[in-house]
Amino acid sequence: MSHHTIEVADLSFTYPDGHQALNKVTLGVEPNEKAALVGPNGSGKSTLLLHLNGVLRSHEGSVCVGGLPLNDDNLGQIRAWVGLVFQNPDDQLFSPRVYQDVAFGPLHMGLDEKTIEARVSAALEAVGMGGYAQRTSYHLSLGEKKRIAIASVLSMEPKILVLDEPSAGLDPRARRNLIRLLQSLEYQTMLISTHDMRLVAELCSRTIVLDSGSVVANGPTADILYDAVLMERHGLETP
């Protein structure tokens, strides 16, 4: 892959119960750019992110990742490129032990054992969970689960990171470390959905505002985040 971009064009999505969650969403994220996706509860942020590695699929509009259109042929490749961290860590962890969960992605990609071990311990270290490899996933605290969920994606070394509220539920130190960690990943494209405006201010060069399933603003963070009227109108606040 020469350029790891995200391009979404005219994407609409309706849940099976008839609720339309996305309405003609168009947005793009440049290579190595870190973009924030903000908007009130229920505006469709999670729904949009779930489209970026094909967990949800829509027939209206298109999703292109790294220049490839998302379809059955490219699905495996796109899932190797895009690391998706779900909003709810219980949606992410499915193995009995932390180690197995973090090793799943690399194992599935067919990497060799040495590499996998190195990646797993690096990923766990990166989120400050070095000693947790042999713990059972389902009895961890919420913040611990969230950090393991992030590690389970970092171990795949994805070119594109899609994070759904990565800082929710983290204690101040873990949150600080997370921001630092994400800042250090210079060569990864990121799209981060969040309600944490300080994280946006520190990390993201661009901010996209979603409301009622549509993009209502898209521009440099400095312009959008400090536009008190705009933020107020969409149920948000300036940091």
Partner 1 sequence: MAGAFQERYRPGDSRIHRLDPRIKTVTALLLILGIVLTPEHAWPAYPLIWALLGSMAEIGGIRAWRLGRMAALVLPFTLAAVALPFTMPGRTVFEILGLAASDTGLARFGAVVLKSWLSAQAALLLTTTTPFTDLLWALSSLRVPPTLVTILGFTYRYLHTLKEEAERLIRARDSRSGTLPGQKSGGSLWWRAQVAGAMIGNLFIRSYERSERVYLAMRARGYTGEMKGFSRAAPTINAMLSGALPVLVLVLIEVIAVILWSS
Ligand X SMILES: Nc1ncnc2c1ncn2[C@@H]1O[C@H](COP(=O)(O)OP(=O)(O)OP(=O)(O)O)[C@@H](O)[C@H]1O
DSSP conformation letters of 143-181: HHHHHHHHHHHHTT--SEEEEESTTTT--HHHHHHHHHH
Q: Shortest gap between Cβ of 44 and ligand X (angstroms)? A: 4
| Residue 21 vs 150, nearer CB to ligand X | 21
Q: How many Cβ atoms from other residues are within 10 Å of residue 231's Cβ?
A: 20
Residues 116-145 that bind ligand X (CB under 6 A): none
* Contact residues: partner 1, CB under 8 A: 53, 55, 76-81, 83-84, 86, 90-96, 100, 104-105, 107-111, 138, 152-153, 156, 158
| Residues 63/56, Cβ–Cβ less than 8 Å | no
| Residue 20 vs 238, nearer CB to ligand X | 20
| Residue 68 vs 216, nearer CB to partner 1 | 68
DSSP state letter for 53: T
Helix (H, G, I), strand (E, B) or coil at 194: coil
Q: Shortest gap between Cβ of 35 and Mg ion (angstroms)? A: 16
| Residue 37 vs 224, nearer CB to Mg ion | 37
58 part of the interface to ligand X, by CB under 6 A: no
47 part of the interface to ligand X, by CB under 6 A: yes
Nearby residues of 59 by Cβ (< 8 Å), 6 or more positions away: none
Q: Which amino acid is at 18?
A: G
Burial class (CB in 10 A: 0-12, 13-18, 19+), 237: exposed
Report how many residues bind Mg ion under the rule CB under 5 A: 3
Report how far residue 130's alpha carbon sits from residue 128's, in angstroms, rounded to the nearest whole number.
Answer: 6
Q: Shortest gap between Cβ of 25 and ligand X (angstroms)? A: 11
- Quick one: which of 21, 63, 154, 208 contacts ligand X (CB under 6 A)? 21
Q: How many residues in the chain?
A: 239
Residues contributing to the site for ligand X (CB under 6 A): 15, 17, 19, 21, 39, 41-47, 87
